[in-house]
Structure 1
Amino acid sequence: MSLLFVASVLLLCTASCCALTCPNITGVPQVPLPYLDSVKFHYKIQISVDDLNQTLDATEYYDHVNNQTFLYLDQATMRSKMSYDYNFNQVFTVDELANTCSVADYNGTQGSVSLIGMHAEKGPQFVKYPFVWNSGYNATSMGVAVIDGIQTDHYQMCLSHEDGNLTYQLDIYFSSQNWSMPAGQNAPVRIDLNATVDSTTTGSHLYTYKFYDYHDSTSKELWKPDLPGDIVCEGRKDVPVAPDPPSQMQLRMEVVMGSYLQQVYQYFDYDNKMLRVDITGDNINTPHMNTIHNFKDGLQYMYYPATGLCDIKPIPPDSMFEDTVVVNSSLVSMIVPNHFGALANATYCGVTMFLGYKGHCWKANTVALAHDFYFNGTAAWVQDTYYNSVDEFNGMITPLGMKQVYTSQQNNGTVNYNVTYNYEFDMFDYHPRILDSDVFHATECFNESQKTEIILKFPNDVYPMIKASPANFSKAVVSATLEHSKVLPTRVVPKTPYTVIQEPDQKSKTNVTYVYVGVTLLGVPNVKGDSVEMVPQPSLAQAISDVKSAVQGGEFILRFNTNAEIAADSEYFNTQDDLIRGQQPSPPPAPSGGKVGVSTGVVVGVSVAMLIVGIMVGCFIMIYRSKRASSQYAYTMQD
């Protein structure tokens, strides 16, 4: 009877609380458990769960200086990544297989999370009572043990948790002081964890943690995880304020779809409300195409170099370049394209790598297009993800690239079906201003009868400017012409090279060097645009008259970045037609012995005879072509 009573007592004790109590260690010497680096450390773990016949891979990262903790668990059915942001007190949970991200507020302290504990196989968020390093634990020293060929110091300890239904019995192995490891001594090698639970708790009991690739703040290893990037995590608080983009910029893009590569050059000028996009293709599936959107005349100029054809029409409301906003059914206005930084309609998706650079990610909402631009489908949808880097010192934004998912709805005669295309736009050669002066002219879309070349004369003072920077000189010529002609940039074409001639000066009786500069003005398109930014346009004759008045009044002045100002010769103004008809004197011939050469794109010492011959030949071609040109647009350059 007494034996039965004792057995009953033992059974009750085992089923209730006695087995959940750590053994009595009174009188057993205790030593502090070794500490890991208090600055930062990370390692990889192989977790074996005995009850499930399963092994998992995991990574843990702790950065006590920058307030970051990162846990990653990889198994067959789940890849769970948890990132703790202590700056905003949030925890991010990413399921990489499902490509989902959730965000929750977190009130815990740094270092209070770990994969070492009960239910680690379910993910970091399910480990209710984790074992955490550097918590001031005392343990029993069990001497030296060889684990996986490594000499280790063996420690044993027991943790009984507050609610009384879970106890951890741990055997912990650190590399010995006299055993060299990549990150020094006392690196974690293995933990054997035996979890004892009461009858109301279910779960795996036996866990083995094998540590490898341990590094701390003294290591040369620079690996550092980031908060989730390239994925939308609704509710995250670490969203940067995207700075406003510059009002002018140009860049080059490579468009990649599978093995197909296409070059795109883009020029954006919000000040003058203009956009130019040059697309190079194989002239079969995607022909080479140059497109200009001029919102101040409301027109789209689309030129095909391979055929010489040009089409002028109002800017389409559903522009494929995403530079328009529709005010009403036909009236459009210019907006800043999203990949330049106007991200009001996009959702922040973190910091990620793009083209080898770390950048901010923004995902736009899916947009239904009015037309299927590329695949002639019955409908189309597009979703863009943008990647920008932001200079932390000056706040300047640099576009890195864009990924686009283009969905085309096709019909096989019976049912509709969707085809998805994935594009990547890699962006290079970005400049926050327009470097070229001639990118916005549309001379290819005008026949010769609508073009007039003006010839201006400048003193030799401009020659150093030309030699130093032909591009800046050309830009100064275009700027002055735009200022005084009051036409739009689509109607001004700079001409190079420039003619430098030595002429006898009647007053000084010496040879004086002058520079003759040509610039072409274009007529007014006979197609009516429709945009908010439209402004009245002077006729070609009026524009020429205004430039002539400015020259004769000494007001046609070239201005340079060096604050230098050089005015055109007020006594000289010619057009091609004037020279051919002989209404004004042409530049005199250079004196004998004049030097002839080429320097920095400038023709030096060209005689007036050659100048006249060149102009006459050009005019003959112009007259011949003007007789054959019959349309403002859609004409062939074969003429």
Structure 2
Amino acid sequence: MTVSGAMKLWYLVLLLFLVTCVTSDDSSLYTCHPGVRAPGVTPAANPPQMPSLAGVNTFTTKIEAVIGESNMTVSAEEYFDYGNNRAALFMLMSGYLYKLIYDYNTNELFYVNPDLSCYTHNLTTDTNNVFFGNIKLSNHLHVFNTMDALQFAATQGQTYMGQATVRGILCDYWRTCLTWPQVNSTFTLDYYFTTKNWVTPAAIPQVPVRAEVFGYRQMASGPHKFHHVYDYTEFRTAPPDDTTVFETPAMVVCANRTQVRPPPQLTQAFVYREEIVPKSGVSTTADVWYDNNLKLVRYDFRPSSPAAPYHNTDAVTEIHDFNTGVAYVIDRIMANCSIIPIMNVSFDTSLNVSVAANHQQFVLKMKSPQDLFYIDNNYTYAGQRYARGEQCDVFIRQRSDFMLGGVAINATLEFYFLSQDQIQRNNDGNLVSQVRDIPVQLNVNVPSIPYMVTYSIYDYDPEEPAITSYDVSTCYSIQNKMGFRITFYGNFDRKVRTYKDIFLYQSISLAASIAGVTPIRITKPSFHMESGNAYFIATLVDRAPVLKRYRKLPGKMVQYNNDAVIQNIMTPDMCASLCSQNTNFTCNSFEYCPTSKVCTLSKIHTSDGTVVSSTQSCDLYDRSLGSNSFVEVSLPDAWQNLKNGVIKQLFQINIKYNKNTKTYTAQDISNDVIDSTDLPPSSTKTLQSFKSMPNRYVPNFDDNILSGQSIDDCAQACVDQTSFVCQSFEYELLTGTCFLSHLHPDEHPRVIKGIQGTDLYIRDYTSKFTKLPGQTVLSSSNVIYQQIYDTNQCAKLCDNYQAFNCKSFDYCSDIGTCFLGKTHVFDVPKADIISNPMCNHYSRNYIDDFTRTALKTIQLVNDRVVTGVTLAQCAKSCVDTEAGSCASFSYCDMQSLCRLTSASLKNVGQVSATASATCDLYTRQYFPDGTGYVSNPQQYYSQKSTSTNMSSSSVAGIAVAMVILGVLLTAIGIFAYLRKTNKRIQDIRMPSRD
């Protein structure tokens, strides 16, 4: 191996420099004959054998070549890998790096020049195959192994010359005489190896140190003599740390390279995230959903500038519908939406160029999966390299149609795919869990600019994206939507429910097909199953404006191609409709002149081309996708088609269970479903006053029924009900139907029944109170209720109590007893707060009656200042102010300062807020019973006094009746409790029933 290394590098340099050699003085060293010992050399007794390095099949080394007659030094690196049948030789000459890369598996020798140009030679016929050989093993071309190279040298008759010191290293050295007819040269070659007892960096005995060449080349002008010295350093028998030295360099295209195999074929639909990193500038990320079957693309990104149609740099979603040629641009922060034509500057579009009627026509089309990544069979396999820590198969090519800023340019593209022996396990899709041939990275180099960019591809999922990913419902007002529900009858047990997603996606496709719309118009789809029914619920949106199918070219017109002229057309939208609905010919473009109200229709596409000229009075509109775009129907027609399809039993879902297929036929369809996101939102705080019981209802207790409601609307309707006291409501999720009831189900738990698709909401009176667990405060209270089922029922009694303003209550669950109190926990001495693990105390949340305005205050009017109190105590002070005259308060937390005032921000035009560094403003919104706070509270209190006061005799009568029932039901428990608290039986009450 070492001999071959010296000869190989010498031969390469010889080829480069022998033509410049000069004649030198005669010397015996230059006189050499094959197989003959050099003159004056006497063989040593028992000379050592030349090192064999048996078993060494891989080496790397650095070589310094001194070309004496040319006054030149060349540095080289040599890499040899017998097991993988490859080798490489790098040379640095005059500041330029040359590379020779040997691929014996493909029989190719690659020459890489300093300017990174590359060309490919046949390794069998190239004369430089002498460096690493071209032997045949099992009919395959193979590199020399170490012993082959040494046996080749041994046949030339080496002579052991003894020991010499080279570069301070003690060496054994041998001499041989060689003739190379390839370059008509004869020379003497001396080999120097470390002695056996010399410790080498490679940890093996006797590595090459130097090769020295004396010889001549026979030329027409006579023999030209030469003298070369090759020093070996850093000789190693391990593979190089960077195995890419055996591959052509990154971003280098080698002409005439063998196409070993084409790049992988992508699926027709996939999802991925990409990181775009230019060599200089700002890196960006984007998410892509692509479905060539549905002709839909979604692209989430952040615009680099606030230009149209974005007008800001917020995160946006672009959804391209290649069925119609329309793009939906959605601002994900502001939820604004613009509908525009798909433009050729988009990454997912390409031009479908054709010639018709002697004019070039340019029509957009959706890129195929391969085109999306600029992948075609012109790529050549360039070996394996690592990208993002993954071993990848690399493909490379040059092309002239790479789009940058909407302009096609020349670029080198290098694509990394997960290597064929690697597998990716994803956690996204359910159909494909292990994937091969995953795109990992695309590197692009545009030398003419210069410009370099890397596209790293993450989370690649080769499954069809969910149609819900292409939601354009925010682009339409409620007038342009129609919610619908399709009902199936049958057995939808647990086994069937595992196929819920298949039901959903078949329903989406069926609905779109039957309605005559693109799938993107079926928005917010969901599928619900009960034991005997199933429902497909979705919202059908209107078609995009027809004008948005056409690209506008302001101030342009088509000369001599007016196939139809229509007068008195008021808007370009009307002209677009005439073009789309024209039956006499296929209208592909039109001009609209707003001044003359003239609409001109044309058969040709002219968004680009020579037939377009300028004008100041008209605008040209060109159909973006051509005449083969999908013809959509209006919302009323689509709804009619869908109804008819269900009525005719065309809406059929086929589910395959093992070997059997079962068909589910839709039986009913209705459009009484409201898109709740477009309804005016009611206060979420209102809903917090109710506790929910999913899949529950109370039969036969519906006092009022409202349709088309959101859950918040239903809660607000219950609170605002005036004809009766609404204590609960049921909400039917599928229809948005709301059922109001006077019944508080906590008091009648047995009437609550189970049902799918309906939720029960019960007034949660405890939301108005703060809990003090394991404590009692009202042990001396005279108002006691027995047989109370839960805390909420006790809170209701306190909230509705008429004899006094109930501010707190104790509830003891072990004896089902509720104690009502006139005082708040802030008002009682600490000695009255008693520990009792079976009871909890609840005091009213005064702060809930207020809304907070941070770091603001108002000019105080009739103010009262309280110090050393908490925020909750400040709110209580405001509520407790006589006749409700406190309308707001400011609380300064750092000073524990509370300022009460009769002024309020609700007095519009009279009071304004000012900035404050330490205080917050709280404006009163409610009276204690939940009634909205008014600016004239005296009127409210006078009305409450008239309508709610009860005489003492009435209260006593209720108490007597409840005492009798309470004693009968819980005599033992009550007697024990009364003994403990020194109360009388007459103090015990039972709750009244509705």
Q: TM-score, normalised by structure 2?
A: 0.47
Q: Does 1:209 align with 2:228?
A: no
Are 1:106 and 2:123 matched, yes or no?
yes
Q: 1:192 and 2:214 equivalent?
A: no
Counting only pairs closer than 5 Å after superposition, residues 165-314 of structure 1 correspond to structure 2 as 165-174=185-194, 176=196, 185-186=204-205, 188-197=207-216, 200=222, 205-215=227-237, 223=243, 225-229=245-249, 230-257=251-278, 258-281=280-303, 287-314=314-341
Structure 1 position 443, deviation (Å): 2.3
**What fraction of aligned residue pairs are identical, expressed as a percent?**
18
Q: Does 1:486 align with 2:608?
A: no
CA positional deviation for 1:470: 7.5
1-side partners of 2:515 and 2:178: how far apart? 86
User: SS at 1:195's partner residue?
Assistant: strand
**Does the 8 Å contact 2:75/2:92 carry over to 1?**
yes
In the superposition, relative to structure 1, how do residues 433 and 368 fare at CA in structure 2: closer, same or farther (>3 Å)? closer
Partner of 1:403: 443
**Structure 1: segments with no counterpart, 5+ residues:** 1-10, 117-130, 374-378, 408-417, 502-511, 581-588, 594-602, 617-639
Q: Which of 373, 388, 403 is 1:355 aligned to?
A: 388
More deviation, 258-267/178-187: 178-187
Query: How far off its partner does 1:427 sit?
Result: 0.8
Deviation at 1:261, TM superposition (A): 2.1
Larger radius of gyration: 2
Cα displacement (A) at 1:182: 6.6
Counting matched residue pairs gives 543
Question: Map of 1:309-458 to 2, 5 A cutoff?
Answer: 309-317=336-344, 319-327=346-354, 329-336=361-368, 338=370, 343-344=375-376, 346-348=378-380, 350-351=382-383, 352-356=385-389, 357-367=391-401, 372-373=405-406, 381=409, 383=411, 385-389=413-417, 392=420, 397-405=437-445, 420-457=450-487
Between the aligned partners of 2:73 and 2:671, the Cα distance in structure 1 is 86
Is the 2:414–2:443 Cα contact (8 Å) retained in structure 1? yes
Tell me the residue number matched to 1:540. 635
In the other structure, the counterpart of 1:159 is 178
Could you say what secondary structure the match of 1:359 adopts?
Answer: strand
Match of 2:543 among 524, 531, 534: 524
In structure 1, distance between residues paired with 2:450 and 2:494: 55
8 Å CA contact retained: 1:262, 1:281: no
Q: What is the CA RMSD across the aligned residues, in angstroms?
A: 4.6
Residue 51 of structure 2 corresponds to which residue in structure 1?
A: 34
Separation in structure 1 between the aligned mates of residue 242 and residue 402 of structure 2, nearest angstrom? 44
Distance 2:55 2:483 in 1: 75
Q: In structure 2, what is the Cα distance between the partners aligned to 1:426 and 1:552?
A: 50
Shift of 1:190: 0.6
Q: Check the 8 A contact 1:39/1:64 in 2, yes or no.
A: no
- Does 1 or 2 have the higher relative contact order (CA < 8 Å, sep 6+)? 1
Q: Secondary structure at the match of 1:35?
A: coil
Partner of 1:433: helix, strand, or coil? coil
Alignment of 1:446-525 (within 5 A): 446-457=476-487, 474-495=504-525, 514=533, 516-525=535-544
1:386-428, CA deviations, whole angstroms, 9 ceiling, x for partnerless residues? 4142654799543222234569xxxxxxxxxx96543221111
> How much has 1:492 moved relative to structure 2?
1.4
Aligned-pair distance for 1:559?
A: 5.3
Q: CA deviation at 1:290?
A: 2.2
| 1:158 alignment partner AA | C
CA separation of 1:545 and 1:344: change in aligned 2, threshold 3 A: same
TM-score by length of 1: 0.70
Which residue identity is paired with 1:293? Answer: H
Task: Note if contact 1:263-1:279 (Cα within 8 Å) is conserved in structure 2.
Answer: yes
Amino acid at match of 1:167: F
Contact 2:201 2:234 in 1 (8 A): no
Residue-by-residue CA offset, 1:483-513 (whole Å, 9 max, x unaligned): 43332122111345x6677xxxxxxxxxx57
8 Å CA contact retained: 1:463, 1:515: no
**Distance change >3 Å, CA 430–CA 43, structure 1 → 2:** same
Structure 2's unaligned 5+ residue stretches are 1-22, 134-147, 308-312, 355-359, 424-434, 550-622, 679-694, 700-710, 716-728, 739-994
2:825 paired residue number: none
Greater helix share, structure number? 2
SS of structure 1 residue aligned to 2:237: strand
The Cα shift of 1:241 comes to: 1.9
Helix, strand or coil for the counterpart of 2:361?
A: coil
Distance change in 2, residues 1:145/1:358 (3 Å): farther
Shift of 1:430: 1.2
Mapped pair 1:23 → 2:38: yes
Distance 1:465 1:388 in 2: 43
Q: Secondary structure at the match of 1:481?
A: helix
Deviation at 1:539, TM superposition (A): 2.9
Question: 1:413-464 CA deviation, whole Å, 9 max, x = no partner?
Answer: xxxxx96543221111112222323123432333322211112345696685
* Aligned twin of 1:611: 733
Matches within 5 A, 1:548-587: 548-552=643-647, 555-558=650-653, 567=664, 570-571=667-668, 573-576=670-673
For 1:402 and 1:221, locate their aligned partners in 2 and report how far apart those are by CA, in whole Å. 24
